[in-house]
Chain A
Amino acid sequence: MFHDDTIAAISTPFGEGGIGIVRLSGRDSIKIVEKIFTSPKNKSLKDLGSNRVIYGHIKDPLTGEEIDEVLVTVMRSPYTYTREDVVEINCHGGMVTLRKTLELVLKEGARLAEPGEFTKRAFINGRIDLSQAEAVLDLIRSKTDESRRIAIEQLQGGLSEKITALRDRLKELCAYLEAYIDFPEDDIEIASKEDMLESMKEIGTELQKLLKTYDEARFFREGLSTAIVGRPNVGKSSLLNALLRKDRAIVTELPGTTRDVIEEYLNIDGLPLRIMDTAGIRNVQDIAEKEGVKRSLQSIENADLVIAIFDGSEHLSDEDFEVMEKIKGKNAIIVMNKCDLPSVFDKDMFASCVLHHASCILQISATRGDGLEELKDRIFESCLKDWKEGRDGVLVTNLRHKIAIENALASLERAISGFLEDKPLEIIALELRDSLDRLGEIVGAVTTEDILENIFKNFCIGK
């Protein structure tokens, strides 16, 4: 809404590669990044010339935790894309540190950019010429539609209803206070101070619960980490390629071709997967390969989901049994590959071995594409069933929503402490209105008219 504050966003596409950029634009860009950036020689960004790059680290100023090793570029107004001060932070640690860095700059006073907002500023400030105006408008329109689509999807989980309910409770509290302030001579009974305080605390607890789900739901944003494991040459990389429909991993007939953990992003009906194609698990001598196996084991340990793959055309080996051993107790899907070739071992025996940690065995052919859709279904189900149970489906997955809830909670907490300190009621009302406005950013604004409506509904006004 405002056009002179400092905005920030991740300006590289989601999930592509390990390097990404958090970009800020606005008068406080440099000041904000300064607060979370340290350089080895204690150089200050303020003293840095325009278009210069500086090496250093992003640290959480609150905890001192080091987030990432970065390169920061400072570009000074007016010779920048937006004609405002622009700072770009090149992060190297992948999506997780990018997000974390973005959250830090938002905490330090930047505002999450609206869709197309950098370009909009570039245009408004005369940086882009008129011929591109239509393109800017298209951008705002299309991104708006996009974000709305996402928002609607996000909210289907009941978040909207939940927030609306909390917002309405806050609205009622506001109406009480406002009635008390604006109609001192009317004979109205407002709730007792204790009741109001109790109500505020309850709303606060609910907001805190919602905030917690944001962390729990991180896989919605960062991708559910999924490890594909199996002994060498059972077709892990072929499966990955089949899912991605492109040749990313090197696939050869030689066992041990995949020596590192390869990260890929896959989207199944809106559920992002971060797939780690691992080196085959086997006894090796080669040092590089050894490292690869070690990482594979590590990635199984960290994975939210494991896809264990076996070769149906060959007899089970010791290495296969080792894989079965490793995935014990994990959320796993068992895949028997190469179903296009004649099966050579006893399926029942196999089933009895693995079924104690997986509900069924899928037969697929990674090269021919058989059974892939079923596999995707199974992945989707196995991830979401936990969420459907036990959480009423309410999940905060969107950073914008998370920030709004955090701000609402902060205002509410100020209202509560104000109440306890006996601050004047109009101050409490100010904080509550602020809290209400913040929740309104998610589910639609509450107007003064709505509050008045509530007053006249609940109280007999008219001296």
Chain B
Amino acid sequence: MYKDGDYDIVVIGAGHAGCEAALASARLGFSTCLFTINLDTIAQMSCNPAIGGLAKGHLVREIDALGGEMAKVTDRAGIQFRMLNMSKGPAVWSLRAQADRVLYRLSMRKVIESQENLDIKQDTVEKIIVDDRKVKGVLTSLGIFYGAGAVIVTTGTFLKGLIHIGLENFPAGRAGEFPSVGLSDSLRGLGLKIGRFKTCTPPRLDAKTIDFSKTEPQWGDEPPQPFSYSTEKITNPQLPCYLTYTNSETHKIIFDNLDRSSIYSGRVKGTGPRYCPSIEDKVVMFPERQRHQVFLEPEGLDTKEYYANGIFTSLPYDMQVSLIRTIPGLEEAEIMRPGYAIEYDFVYPTQLKHNLETKIIDGLFLAGQINGTSGYEEAAAQGLMAGINALLKLQGKEPLILGRHEAYIGVLIDDLITKGTSEPYRMFTSRAEYRLLLRHDNADLRLMDKGYEIGLLGKEVYQKFQEKKRLTDEELQRIKKTRIRFEGTDRDESLEQLLKRPEITYKFIEESSPSDKFLTPEIKKQIEIQVKYDGYIRRQMEMAERLKKIEEKKISEDFDYTSVKGLSKEVLSKLQEVRPANLGQASRIPGVTPAAISLLLVTIEKLKRQSGCKGAA
């Protein structure tokens, strides 16, 4: 066995999770090695060429506020930006961008390659080397050993990946790429419980063969708004997407050939995501629907490849061709790459702690799709947090755990490790009980202090943020104090009170009693939101505050749940599986009752005092 080096941190897989993890580690001065099976597919967008959307856009903003990279790369690679849900309230606005797949990949690679303390190696890690339940390093397919203080596994869909197209199947990590076979067994050998999920992709079409005149173009916002707080302006040319629809003829082809679909013939065993069903599923489950949307999304500025969003399928190639050609605009379309289903191994995430470290192996962290999630944004968020927490662990510091009231990232990780997931987990705003606090617009207010404290957020951005915060607070104070008489009323009211009225916007304040400071549109919007939502925000803050109290009741890692008499078998087994870190987390495990929490609380207190007595004696 050849030993090539010793690193503080080894990251396995250079997808969206791996890149964030490796960058976080290296930027904070830790020697880091990033392994990838293929150097040319660093930060590859495996599925749709888009970043963001509802709740996902929120995640990207949070990553940015903590000092991660995804937002900046998206801004550099973005070819269409749209703020979604503008007709609804600001808590559920969310940015979505179409990105140039190649630009995205190269832009991230450039960042990774220019990062100090970061080595990048093309090799397949086959084995995690562990001694006495503690990570020591990794062994690659070339038989090389790399020592590591902590290992972060971010392998996406590559673990025992198996691609299905029709009734054909073959091992692959993504279409055209090698899977990782040994590592999955290594993880299993360490005692981790592994499950199997599947996901589906649509065919990619050749623009030369598409008649766009039969479709509806959809342009992005003008001017495009960036994701990152540090991006001044989007400079790429912007492109439209095109909307077309399936029809009864399309549906008939699918119905008649279900036995040739890998999903419907029972060949794919893994569980797929309900929010991203194959076209086969859509047609079978909603037979009354006359048509389904198909979005033709550009894969990039310099390519003719279009992504047929909406037709996720695992039908055989010939059927894909026939069904595509029933769709207006696609009558003569040529498929450049067929759609496929992929099955892959994941690790049941209830085996992780809040810092994304496995409970059974010290120093082994998992992030991204390996934890049963789907989506680039969910992966990147975990990667960033795993990177940060691996470092904090090496330094012997307290982990960075974001609360459910602080960030979607907090909701994401807490959900995964507390509830597990029965399908690839995607973030929705409905998962956040404090949705009004977790807005797209205030990610900086929520998280930049933390990002700066850790050392990932640049000084310049942070100073800009502080200035914005100062101006916002001052203006909030001013409008509280300034009173004017609104026409048609008989007494003075503060500007703040007036702004609470549904028909009044900040523009009214600007016109009637403007600030003498220069306020950016962002600040004005912030003030409007904070004032208009005030009552609700406070209500949610109070709830969060109360929750914090029970989160403070810690449960030790080796707590013996069988010592709590009176718990039902079901509750006991759930508690033993999840081993919650505190009573708050325990109370969120499905099926754990308030009475069980009371029993737990009293028993913990009892044990604490007993050990206290011993200590004194």
Residues of A within 8 A of B (CB): 1-5, 114, 116-117, 120, 123-124, 130, 133, 136-137, 140-141, 144, 178, 181-187, 421-427, 429-430, 433, 447-449, 451-452, 456, 460-463
In the assembled complex, the Cα of A281 lies from the Cα of B430 at a distance in Å of: 68
Q: Using a CB-CB cutoff of 8 Å, which residues 91-114 of chain B contact chain A?
A: 91-92
In the assembled complex, the Cα of A141 lies from the Cα of B309 at a distance in Å of: 55
Report if B412 contacts A (CB, 8 A): no
Contacts A3-B601, A140-B602, A424-B90 supplied; 12 other A-B pairs, CB < 8 Å: A1-B550, A2-B546, A123-B605, A141-B599, A144-B595, A183-B54, A184-B88, A427-B436, A449-B419, A452-B430, A462-B282, A463-B295
B550 to A452, Cβ gap below 8 A?
A: no
Q: Which residue of B lies closest to A130 (CB)?
A: B609
Residues of B within 8 A of A (CB): 53-55, 84-85, 88-92, 274-277, 281-282, 285-286, 289, 292-293, 295, 309-310, 312, 419, 428-431, 433, 435-436, 502, 536, 546-547, 549-550, 565-566, 587, 590, 594-595, 597-599, 601-603, 605-606, 609-610, 613
Contact of A130 among B566, B597, B613 (CB under 8 A): B613
B430 to A182, Cβ gap below 8 A?
A: yes
A463 to B309, Cβ gap below 8 A?
A: yes
B282 to A460, Cβ gap below 8 A?
A: yes
In the assembled complex, the Cα of A424 lies from the Cα of B528 at a distance in Å of: 14
Would you call the interface of chain A mostly helix, strand, loop, or mixed?
A: helix
In the assembled complex, the Cα of A211 lies from the Cα of B46 at a distance in Å of: 55
In the assembled complex, 18 residue pairs joining A and B whose CB atoms fall closer than 8 Å, in A order, are A1-B597, A4-B546, A114-B595, A130-B606, A133-B609, A137-B602, A137-B603, A140-B602, A141-B565, A141-B599, A181-B92, A181-B429, A183-B275, A187-B292, A424-B92, A426-B89, A449-B590, A463-B309
Q: In the complex, how many angstroms separate the beta carbon of B256 from the nearest chain A beta carbon?
A: 20
Q: Which residue of B lies closest to A437 (CB)?
A: B433
Contacts of B595 in A (CB 8 A): 114, 140, 144
| A123-B602, A124-B601 known; A424 vs B91 contact (CB < 8 Å) | yes
B430 to A2, Cβ gap below 8 A?
A: no
Q: Which residue of B lies closest to A447 (CB)?
A: B590
B613 to A114, Cβ gap below 8 A?
A: no
Contacts of B428 in A (CB 8 A): 178, 182, 448, 452
In the assembled complex, the Cα of A144 lies from the Cα of B602 at a distance in Å of: 15
Q: In the complex, how many angstroms separate the beta carbon of A341 from the nearest chain B beta carbon?
A: 55
In the assembled complex, the Cα of A114 lies from the Cα of B601 at a distance in Å of: 14
A462 to B566, Cβ gap below 8 A?
A: no
Q: In the complex, how many angstroms separate the beta carbon of A138 from the nearest chain B beta carbon?
A: 9
Q: Which residue of B lies closest to A143 (CB)?
A: B595
B84 to A185, Cβ gap below 8 A?
A: yes
Q: Which residue of B lies closest to A448 (CB)?
A: B431
Contact of B565 among A5, A124, A137 (CB under 8 A): A137
In the assembled complex, the Cα of A452 lies from the Cα of B88 at a distance in Å of: 20
In the assembled complex, the Cα of A424 lies from the Cα of B545 at a distance in Å of: 24
B536 to A427, Cβ gap below 8 A?
A: yes
A124 to B84, Cβ gap below 8 A?
A: no
Q: Which residue of A lies closest to B84 (CB)?
A: A184
In the assembled complex, the Cα of A456 lies from the Cα of B426 at a distance in Å of: 13
Contact of A140 among B92, B276, B590, B598 (CB under 8 A): B598
Q: In the complex, how many angstroms separate the beta carbon of A152 from the nearest chain B beta carbon?
A: 14
Contacts of A117 in B (CB 8 A): 598
Q: In the complex, how many angstroms separate the beta carbon of B264 from the nearest chain A beta carbon?
A: 16
In the assembled complex, the Cα of A186 lies from the Cα of B53 at a distance in Å of: 12
A181 to B430, Cβ gap below 8 A?
A: yes
Contacts of B88 in A (CB 8 A): 181, 184, 424-426
Q: Which residue of B lies closest to A175 (CB)?
A: B430
In the assembled complex, the Cα of A133 lies from the Cα of B604 at a distance in Å of: 11
Contacts of B275 in A (CB 8 A): 183, 456, 461-462
In the assembled complex, the Cα of A2 lies from the Cα of B544 at a distance in Å of: 11
Q: In the complex, how many angstroms separate the beta carbon of A173 from the nearest chain B beta carbon?
A: 13
| A184-B54, A460-B285 known; A137 vs B601 contact (CB < 8 Å) | no
Q: In the complex, how many angstroms separate the beta carbon of A198 from the nearest chain B beta carbon?
A: 22
Contacts of A422 in B (CB 8 A): 502
Q: Which residue of B lies closest to A425 (CB)?
A: B88
A130 to B89, Cβ gap below 8 A?
A: no
Q: In the complex, how many angstroms separate the beta carbon of B390 from the nearest chain A beta carbon?
A: 29
Q: In the complex, how many angstroms separate the beta carbon of A214 from the nearest chain B beta carbon?
A: 23
In the assembled complex, the Cα of A448 lies from the Cα of B415 at a distance in Å of: 11
Q: Which residue of B lies closest to A132 (CB)?
A: B606
A4 to B286, Cβ gap below 8 A?
A: no
In the assembled complex, the Cα of A181 lies from the Cα of B92 at a distance in Å of: 7
| A137-B602, A430-B436, A456-B274 known; A182 vs B292 contact (CB < 8 Å) | no
